Amino acid sequence: MKAIFAKIMSGNFKIKLITAFVLILVIPSMIVGTLSYSRSKKEIEQQILSSAKENINLLDSFISTTITPKKLDTDYFAQNTNASMYQGIDSPMVRQNFNTYLAMHPEVNSMSLGTDTGLYVISPPQDVKADYDPRTRGWYKDAIANKGKTIVSEPYKSAVTGENIITVSQATSDGSGVVGITLSIDQIDKLTKEVQIGKAGYVMIFDKNKNYIVHPTIKSGEPAENPVYDRLYEEDSNQIEFGLGGQNKKMLYVTNKTVGWKVVGLMNSSEVKESAQPIFIYTLLSIIICLIIGGISIYFILKSIIRPIVKLKEHAVRVSEGVLTESIQINTLDEIGELGQAFDEMRKNLRSLIMDVEDRSEQVAASSQQLTASAEQTSLATEQVVMAVQDVAGSAEKQTVSVDHNVHALQEISLGVARIVNSVTDLSGLSNHTTLQAEEGGESVLQVKEQMSSIHESVEKSDHMVRSLYDRSKEINSISVVISGIAKQTNLLALNAAIEAARAGEHGKGFAVVADEVRKLAELSQESAQQISELIIEIQRLTKDTVDTTEKVTQDVAGGLKVSNEAIQKFEQILISMNKTTPHIDEVSAIAEQISAGVQEVTAITNELAMIAKGNAATSEEVAASAEEQLASMEEISASAQSLSSLSEELQALINKFTY
């Protein structure tokens, strides 16, 4: 699109005008047509939706006007019926009231009474199963559970007639039974199916449990499985858009306040577009007719504009070729005619201007030749001055380079001396620190030696005590051997005593018991002696190992004492060496600081010389630059004079191209 627009804008004037007129004609027509179609489509949509809402509201009102009177009638009968009127299946008073009401209301299918004893009275009489119990029916249970309120049952199919019916019920004032009026909803079904929403839309009715009551194709009582119908129960009334069967649908619904049913109108969204299609065609035809009429008008308007412009262009081409003698005549009173007159005046003025320029160009040519000669002489003199100044600047630059080299070298020397001073200072500090560490190390070694001596004494005492323990354990072993022998002899004596007691018979039983206890005690003593002997042998083994370990520790401690003595001697030698080295390091540090100070003074003086040399070189360069600038200016003047002379010649050649 951008490329097409650029191409149009770069085309000739005729194409630009045609494009402008077409856009002015087409764009408003398209905008007006689009707005008209959109407005009409919206109005049609509002009309269809308004009609659908009206139909739904009428059906809602019909449901209310059908059921509300029956609720009032049911309340009347419930208030005026009591247990005293129940006289079996006939119950004349009840049946008379029912028949009178049915005669006045032919739209009612039947009236019934169910009691708390299971009695069931219905008018007109119907074939009821012998086991029929009204107390098990929903209309009875709901009425009993909501005493004082009129209940409308969910639609169900009559077992007798097969019709879709509802029962309006209410408990009697004394609570002894429930009165019900049964209505057919076939009239509601018929009216619902007759209502049309748009061209292909229809109306549906759902009960409070999301089951179909009326639908064009689905049986009453079937559950609504599409999840979109869940949204009907979020609000009492609204409008919903959704997709169904590959088409966009609009759904309008209201909730009947009498029974809580949902009255729903469903239509295709495409019906609005189909209804607005003729308007779109008429609008398109109108735009095409306007474009045709406008195109014819634009043709004649463009013709009246383009023809004088073409004539003006032809004369402009002649002027561009140098022909200034032909005049232009455009006999229109608009801006193009004024443009033609102004162009002819411009031609006349240009002719006069060229004649004046020809005279002036001849004078400029003569003056430029004189200026060229003067500039060449001045340039030669300036070149000689520039050469002399450049020689001076070159010498100053060499001097500056030499001084800079010396300054750089002195700076490096100064940095080296400073590093030496720092290193010597660090070495002096390190030497002092090392001396202190050596002294502290000597003291630490003396303390270690004292601790080793103390450990040596403790180890010798420990060795003596362990050896004494070893000797005592040997004595204990001897004692345990004696105890073991005594236990064996006691055991033999107990055995002999037991034998003698056995011989003594009944009189020796008490002695036999004592002998047996002595024998057991002897065996226990022998076992304890054996255990003590084993423990003593283990103690002797451990004690011997301890003696051997103590001897090794004594030897190691003796070796540690020897090493400590050697370390003390080494630290004493290190202290002597450090005390001799420290004065020499301090002397070297002082000399290095003096050298550094001297180098810094020489560097400062050299820097001053470098600054002076640079100032001289800069001054020389400025003089040389000024001279070169003057030379360049003279050369420019000479070149300008020559260029001016050439331009005057070219100007005369150009003027000769014009015919005036």
The predicted-structure confidence for 508-534, as pLDDT tens digits, reads as follows 667 677 767 777 776 776 777 677 667
Residue among 157, 135, 132, 133 at smallest CA distance from 145: 135
- Pair 595, 495 in one domain: yes
Eight-class DSSP state of 413: H
Domain span holding position 360: 353-655
Structural domain contains residue 341: no
- Pair 266, 369 in one domain: no
Min mean pLDDT across 189-193, 218-222, 378-382 is at 378-382
SS3 annotation, 440-474:
HHHHHHHHHHHHHHHHHHHHHHHHHHHHHHHHHHH
DSSP characters over 34-102: HHHHHHHHHHHHHHHHHHHHHHHHHHHHHHHHHHHHHHHHHHHHHHT--GGG-BTBT-HHHHHHHHHHH
Burial of 53 (0-12, 13-18, 19+ CB in 10 A): middle
For residue 587, count other CB atoms closer than 10 A to its CB.
12
Number of domains in the chain: 2
Structural domain contains residue 331: no
What residue type is 361 in one-letter code? S
Residue-wise pLDDT for 122-167, tens only, equals 999 888 888 889 999 889 999 999 999 999 988 888 766 778 889 9
- Pair 273, 357 in one domain: no
Is the pLDDT at 592 greater than 60? The verdict is no
What residue type is 122 in one-letter code? I
Assign residue 416 the CATH number of its domain: 1.10.287.950
Structural domain contains residue 61: yes
Residue 483 — left, alpha, or beta (φ > 0 → left; ψ -120 to 50 → alpha)?
Answer: alpha
Average pLDDT, the chain: 75
- pTM for this entry: 0.42
Is the pLDDT at 29 greater than 60? The verdict is yes
SS3 content of the chain, % helix, strand, coil (to 5): 75, 10, 15
Domain boundary at 223, 251, 278, which?
278
Domain boundary at 278, 308, 332, which?
278
SS3 annotation, 328-347:
CCCCCCCHHHHHHHHHHHHH
pLDDT at 128 (0 to 100)? 80
Assign residue 115 the CATH number of its domain: 3.30.450.20
Structural domain contains residue 31: no
- Pair 470, 616 in one domain: yes
Structural domain contains residue 511: yes
The C-alpha atoms of residue 143 and residue 166 are separated, in whole angstroms, by 14
| Percent share of the chain, pLDDT over 70 | 62
Is the pLDDT at 182 greater than 80? The verdict is yes
Domain boundary at 259, 278, 297, which?
278
pLDDT at 640 (0 to 100)? 67
pLDDT at 591 (0 to 100)? 64
- Pair 233, 372 in one domain: no
